[in-house]
């Protein structure tokens, strides 16, 4: 036997000894565990006490702190936090001889203590699991409620009266909320509204990324001049018949609004419409105001047509197909009624016959409406169609729309290779910051219970009457939307609508979310200040001899608003 062979023999012997020793040790431990009894009455594997936390509206309460203590003692045996569905589980190594107390604490709720008596503990010991009846936590209205509410109202007013830009107002509100929480909360726990981590948890990142993707796609498409070209074709086709022209322009605006956002749609349509109106010898506002009214309504047919639909879709899980199937026909009916009213209101204007324009002016109009880059246009259309195919078919594989939008934007950036600096600028970071800050601010009023308070009040009024619920949301939100910016309004209504959807029989069809979509969008037609598309239109026309006055807009906008809300309401009753 050589040296190596002697070494192997020595090592294998050691390993055998080690193995035998380990085996004996394991068996010993096993015996101790099975046969040796400790001093306690019960012993063995974990015991689980479980339950569920809800609020007065039967909504789950997440993030509550639960601790198990022996009654009369201060030492915590075990603790946990409730999950997003309100459920919780406490694991105990052993069962105490005396009763067990479960303490439940959550900011903005009144703390509770549940006692498990001997009978309960016996059941726990026998089965290893004890389920407590659902615990309903009551809201605590303290100073943080009033502070968060005041901050939210202040933001709405600052935006409504344009004292601050919407993003600045939302950021200011968020900053104050967090400063009060951290600095005030250090001295008085009642001032703790929420932590920064809790605030961040309210941001819906699907919305943010969907917006980023669509902004890049829109920036590329709008640069092609396709919508201005379509407006010019409408002018040619109408052959001087203003009534026909306005209907075609409204249809183009609806189509554009369904794909782009209303703000961009009007930025594209207003300058060319001004020129067309002057070429026809009519007041261009008779074309432009109907366009903006149509853009506010047309956008609600698709998920991406309005920012409010993006919010609603992401929150309620309503997909692209759902909006198309459930809203399109209702919107078409609303637009028919709108078209009829517009033709009536501007009948004198449309009767005018202008003398036509010179060949020079016609050529100028045609030049201003040219398609800038046909190659880019075709590529943009192909990618745009693929993105929408992604929206439609993606639902089968649970592909969120944000992924389709980001992928489409990336393909366009690579394929067209545009100026990347311009594309970065095209992403409206201010709006994204506004959305993020807004989500967090709305989260604050959810934390302190304002949302629950409003939902509870609405629930008492509506009861189990779904028709009344739809009516309240369509007309209530529609009326508020005439005065208040519809994005913060929609964001704050979403949790309320969720509560009502869960409590009203028949509402599981998500009809209340569609009602919110219609109310928020159609209400934007009421006043000039009702929507950003209205304001940007006025901003452009102000730079010509055709400024839009508050009164002028109101004369058309307010009747159209309520006519379309009525049609929308009736449609929802029929559809659902």
Partner 1 sequence: MTTILCPTRGGKESHPNQDFAIELAKERGADLLFMYVSNIQLISRSGPPIVVDIAEELDELGDFLLLMAQERAENFGVPANSTVRRGIFSKVLREVILEKKISTVVLGSSSKGAGIVSFERLQELSEGLSKEMDVEFFILQDGKVVFHTEV
358 lies in the site for partner 1, by CB under 8 A: yes
To the nearest 10 degrees (0 to 180), the angle between helices 320-345 and 550-575 is 130
- Min CB(428)–partner 1 separation in Å: 5
Q: Which is nearer to partner 1, 165 or 555 (CB)?
A: 165
- What gap in Å lies between CA 345 and CA 299, rounded to an integer? 23
Task: Pick the closer one to partner 1 by CB: 284 or 469.
Answer: 284
Among 137, 147, 151, 218, binds partner 1 (CB under 8 A): 218
The least CB distance from residue 184 to partner 1, in Å, is 33
Q: How many CB atoms neighbour CB 44 within 10 A? A: 13
Q: How many CB atoms lie within 10 A of CB 272?
A: 23
Nearer to partner 1, 79 or 162 (CB): 162
Please list, residue by residue across 399-410, b when 16 or more beta carbons sit within 10 angstroms of its beta carbon and e when fewer do: ebbbebbbbbbe
DSSP 93: S
**171 or 473: CB nearest partner 1:** 171
Tell me the closest approach of the beta carbon of residue 535 to partner 1, in angstroms: 4
DSSP code for 396: G
Instruction: In angstroms, give the least distance from the CB of 528 to partner 1.
Output: 10
Does residue 491 interact with partner 1 by CB under 8 A?
Answer: no
Q: Which of 26, 29, 153, 361 touches partner 1 by CB under 8 A?
A: 361
Map the footprint of partner 1 across residues 259-298, applying CB under 8 A: 263-264, 267-268, 271-272, 274-275, 278
Considering CB under 8 A, how many residues would be counted as binding partner 1?
A: 42
Take residue 289 and report the two structure tokens written for it. Answer: 């105001």
Could you tell me the smallest distance in angstroms from the CB atom of residue 316 to partner 1? Answer: 24
Least distance in angstroms from the C-beta of 74 to partner 1: 55
Q: How far is the CB of 431 from partner 1 (least distance, A)?
A: 5
Nearest to 69 by CA among 92, 51, 41: 92
Containing 452, the helix (H) or strand (E) segment is: helix 450-462
Interacting residues of 380 by C-beta distance below 8 A, sequence separation 6+: 217, 220, 221, 224, 412, 416
In the range 537-576, which residues lie near partner 1 by CB under 8 A?
538-540, 542-547, 549
How far apart, in whole angstroms, are the C-alpha atoms of residue 539 and residue 544? Answer: 10
Q: Is 536 in the site for partner 1 (CB under 8 A)?
A: yes
Q: Measured between alpha carbons, how far is residue 189 from residues 11, 55, 186, 551 in Å?
A: 66, 21, 7, 50
User: Which CB, 271 or 330, lies closer to partner 1?
Assistant: 271
Within 54-113, which residues bind partner 1 (CB under 8 A)? none
Query: Which one-letter DSSP state was computed for residue 226?
Result: H
Q: Are 297 and 255 in contact (CB under 8 A)?
A: no
Contacting residue, 82, 296, 301, 431, with partner 1 by CB under 8 A: 431
- Among 26-34, 95-103, 218-226, 441-449, which window interacts with partner 1 (CB under 8 A)? 218-226
From the centroid of its chain, how far is CA 521?
A: 14
Tell which one of 204, 291, 349, 532 touches partner 1 (CB under 8 A): 532
Judged by CB under 8 A, the stretch of 101-109, 330-338, 347-355, 530-538 that binds partner 1 is 530-538
Backbone angles phi, psi at 386, to 5 degrees: -65, -35
**Structure letter (DSSP) for residue 428:** -
Does 362 help bind partner 1 (rule: CB under 8 A)?
no
Which residues make Cβ contacts (< 8 Å) with residue 148, sequence separation at least 6?
177, 193, 444, 445, 447, 448, 450
φ/ψ (deg, to 5) at 481: -65, -20
Return residues touching partner 1 (CB under 8 A). 162, 165-166, 215, 218-219, 222-223, 263-264, 267-268, 271-272, 274-275, 278, 358, 360-361, 364-365, 368, 425-426, 428, 430-431, 434, 532, 535-536, 538-540, 542-547, 549
């Amino acid at each position: 036997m050589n040296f190596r062979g002697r070494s192997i023999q020595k090592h294998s012997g050691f390993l055998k000894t080690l193995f035998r020793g380990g085996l004996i040790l394991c068996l010993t431990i096993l015996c101790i565990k099975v046969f040796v009894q400790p001093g306690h009455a019960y012993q063995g594997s974990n015991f689980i006490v479980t339950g569920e936390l809800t609020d007065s509206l039967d909504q789950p309460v997440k993030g509550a702190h639960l601790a198990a203590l022996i009654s009369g003692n201060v030492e915590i045996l075990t603790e946990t936090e409730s999950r997003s569905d309100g459920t919780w589980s406490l694991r105990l190594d052993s069962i105490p001889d005396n009763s067990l107390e479960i303490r439940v604490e959550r900011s903005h709720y009144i703390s509770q203590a549940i006692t498990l008596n001997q009978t309960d503990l016996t059941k726990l010991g026998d089965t290893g699991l004890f389920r407590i009846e659902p615990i309903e936590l009551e809201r605590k209205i303290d100073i943080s409620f009033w502070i968060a509410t005041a901050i939210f109202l202040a933001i709405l007013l600052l935006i409504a009266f344009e004292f601050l830009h919407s993003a600045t107002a939302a950021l200011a509100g968020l900053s104050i909320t967090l400063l009060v929480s951290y600095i005030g909360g250090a001295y008085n726990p009642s001032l703790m509204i929420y932590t920064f981590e809790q605030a961040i948890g309210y941001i819906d990142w699907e919305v943010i990324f969907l917006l980023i993707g669509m902004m890049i796609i829109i920036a590329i498409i709008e640069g092609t001049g396709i919508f201005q070209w379509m407006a010019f074709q409408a002018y040619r086709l109408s052959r001087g018949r203003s009534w026909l022209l306005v209907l075609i322009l409204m249809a183009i605006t609806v189509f554009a609004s369904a794909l782009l956002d209303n703000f961009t749609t009007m930025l594209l349509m207003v300058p060319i419409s001004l020129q067309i109106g002057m070429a026809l010898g009519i007041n261009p506002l008779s074309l432009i105001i109907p366009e903006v009214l149509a853009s506010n309504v047309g956008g609600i047919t698709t998920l991406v047509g309005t920012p409010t639909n993006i919010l609603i879709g992401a929150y309620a899980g309503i997909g692209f197909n759902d909006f198309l199937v459930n809203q399109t026909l209702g919107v078409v009916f609303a637009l028919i009624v709108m078209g009829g009213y517009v033709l009536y209101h501007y009948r004198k204007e449309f009767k005018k016959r202008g003398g036509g324009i010179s060949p020079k002016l016609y050529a100028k109009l045609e030049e201003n409406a040219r398609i800038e880059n046909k190659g880019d246009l075709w590529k943009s259309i192909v990618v745009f169609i693929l993105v929408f195919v992604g929206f439609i078919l993606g639902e089968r594989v649970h592909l969120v729309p944000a992924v389709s939008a980001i992928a489409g934007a990336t393909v366009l950036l690579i394929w067209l290779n545009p100026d990347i600096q311009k594309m970065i600028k095209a992403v409206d970071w201010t709006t994204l910051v506004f959305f993020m800050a807004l989500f967090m601010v709305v989260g604050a009023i959810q934390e302190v219970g304002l949302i629950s308070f409003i939902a509870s009040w609405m629930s008492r009024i509506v009861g189990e009457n779904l028709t009344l619920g739809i009516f309240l949301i369509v007309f209530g939100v529609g009326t508020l939307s005439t005065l208040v910016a519809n994005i913060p309004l929609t964001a704050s209504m979403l949790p309320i609508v969720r509560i009502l959807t869960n409590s009203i029989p028949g509402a599981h069809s998500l009809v209340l979310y569609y009602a919110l979509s219609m109310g928020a969008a159609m209400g934007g037609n009421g006043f000039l200040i009702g929507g950003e598309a209205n304001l940007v239109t006025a901003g452009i026309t102000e730079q010509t001899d055709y400024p839009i006055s508050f009164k002028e807009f109101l004369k058309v906008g307010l009747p159209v608003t309520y006519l379309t809300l009525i049609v929308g309401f009736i449609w929802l009753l029929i559809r659902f």
